Amino acid sequence: MSTVTYILVVTTYESKETGQFSIDVLGKNKIILERLSTPINIQLIYSSKLIDDSPTYYRDYQVPECHYETSQIHVNTTGSYVLWSENNINAYGYIYKNDFNPLNPSKNLLLSHGGECNDGKFKLIIDLKINTRYILVVTTRDPKTIGNFFVYISGPNNVSLSRFSPELSNCAIRDQYNLYMKGIALTLDDILCNELQPNIVLNNQSFSIKLSVGLTIIMFVAGLISGILSFVTFQNKDAQQVGCGIYLLASSIVSLLTIIMFIIKFWFVVLTRINVSTSLSVLRGGCASIELILKLFLYLDGWLNACVAIERAVYIFKGVKFDKKKSKSIARRTILILPFFIFCTLIHELVLRRLFEYKTARDTIDTSKTNEAIIKRYVSCITRYSPSVQVYNIAVLFFHLVGPFIINLFSALFIIFGGARQRSVVQNNQSFKEHIQEQFTEHKQLIISPIVLLILSIPRLIISLLPDYMETSENMWLYLGSYFISFSPSMLIFLIFVFPSELYMKAFKQSFNRIRRRTPTKSARSG
């Protein structure tokens, strides 16, 4: 249209590329090309420098220890503004609306530019409104990079920048775009993160932390006693007549290891969050190993209990045809294979778990403080999953939690109803209901343990279905109680498997009496 002005922009594919060019225009009428001069109204020139004391964070959740500076943008007129940098470092620029959280750098992000095609100098073109808070973040492409930079801002009216200090949370990172995920299970770090106060001794921590410490110690002592008594029972040859005894002997050992790892995990979380100066090498080692080992023992204990449930169901099904020798042989092979199988399903966590570290800026107002008080450090253990690995991780989690859950459920049902139906075919002088009652009375020790394990597995399954972004502070005891209950099978193995069984109680008494007879003899010899 003849009344409309059109602007043609000619540029290059590569940066700083120069050369001649020509423009040919074809059409019905004559067209005139005139060089257009577009003056840049620079409203602000801001200079600053990233130094060693500047705060650091994980840029885009990918590059650790990137120094950065935050400034609040104030505009007097709504309109389109251009922000660009001049610097001798490869700079990244980000604009956020309302707030910026370095522990969650994807939240509130409006626009970013990493200096592509501009020699590492960012350029941001954005519409800004009055009475709205915008945060400009200037950081670098590579970690631990320092240097000077200038920020130029052009637009319709005056602009000002003022320093901005983000408010931080010491809890774990939760990326709304799921670039980083810890799975779909809440961990002890997630539950206690808002309760533990850094640099405050345990006696001055909240009541919930003190009570958690007490419950953890009680659980550890109870689990230790139960594991030792169970080991004493199942190391007896009379308790190993079939594969169940061998599974339960292994389960006793794994339960002891689980409860030991549980208290190590608890104190590791508590002490490292209280003592913020803990060595990064210690934190990295704990991040990579403790949760993985704890999961390995928990899953192994669950599958060993599932093996017990399967064998008991097979025993009811085969009756007198049950092969005890073959049962023990299968149990030994299964115990050797299970740990390697479970570890292989969890190997991706060992590879992908990493430590997230963030340091705040130095306090330039109160210079009387020590460096530890001036600079705060926030550390969290995260696992970065790609979408395909995330799907695999969810499948693994469901397999290890739901698998034993279903096996224990169907084992209990089969022991009651399957056994009753078999008897009703042979003994038809009684009703099916009467056979169920007899089956329950005769095999109650085989039924109690699967049902109890089933009930105790429900809280673990529930907290595993909770997403990472759940706010645990409001219902901390609900989540913490469910977390503690999930370790109950490991500390109740004696009550679940030994106490209801006449055979195992007899084996326990024999082993206990044998140990008691040996103890005075050794004492007499030493005297």
CATH code given to domain 42-167: 2.60.120.380
**CATH class of this structure's domain 188-362+375-515:** mainly alpha
> What is the distance between the alpha carbons of residues 137 and 112, in angstroms, rounded to a whole number?
9
Contacts made by residues 324-328, CB under 8 angstroms, sequence distance 24+: 324/241, 324/242, 327/242, 327/243, 327/244, 328/240, 328/242, 328/243, 328/246
Q: How far is CA 152 from the centre of its chain?
A: 41
> What is the distance between the alpha carbons of residues 506 and 218, in angstroms, rounded to a whole number?
28
> What is the distance between the alpha carbons of residues 379 and 169, in angstroms, rounded to a whole number?
11
Q: Which residue has the tokens 């097979």?
A: 314
Which two structure tokens, joined as six digits, stand for 205? Answer: 């921590």
Going from N- to C-terminal start, the domains of the chain cover 42-167, 188-362+375-515
Which residues fall within 8 angstroms of residue 479, CB to CB, at 6 or more apart?
186, 191, 463, 466, 470, 472
> What is the distance between the alpha carbons of residues 128 and 76, in angstroms, rounded to a whole number?
10
How many C-beta neighbours within 10 Å does residue 332 have? Answer: 13
> What is the distance between the alpha carbons of residues 193 and 470, in angstroms, rounded to a whole number?
13
Which two structure tokens, joined as six digits, stand for 321? Answer: 């045809």
How many C-beta neighbours within 10 Å does residue 386 have? Answer: 12
Per-residue pLDDT of the chain (527 residues; tens, 9 = 90+): 666 777 788 888 877 788 888 888 888 877 878 776 656 678 888 999 998 888 888 887 778 788 899 999 999 899 899 999 988 888 999 999 988 888 778 888 999 998 887 788 899 999 999 989 999 999 998 888 999 999 999 988 888 888 887 765 444 343 333 333 334 455 677 677 667 777 788 888 888 888 888 888 998 998 899 888 888 888 877 777 888 888 888 989 999 999 999 899 889 888 888 887 788 888 888 888 888 898 899 889 889 988 888 888 887 777 777 788 888 889 999 999 999 999 999 888 887 777 766 666 554 444 444 444 445 666 777 666 667 777 887 788 888 877 887 887 788 777 777 777 777 766 767 777 777 777 777 666 666 666 676 677 677 666 655 554 455 555 667 777 777 777 777 777 787 777 777 777 877 787 778 777 776 554 445 44
Beta strand 159-163 with 63-75 is antiparallel
Write the DSSP symbol of residue 472.
-
Which two structure tokens, joined as six digits, stand for 391? Answer: 């799907």
> What is the distance between the alpha carbons of residues 248 and 254, in angstroms, rounded to a whole number?
9
Q: What is the pTM of this model?
A: 0.65
Task: Give the 3-state DSSP-derived string for 91-115, with helices as H, strands as E and coil as C.
Answer: EEEEEEECCCCCCCCCCCEEEEECC
> What is the distance between the alpha carbons of residues 183 and 176, in angstroms, rounded to a whole number?
13
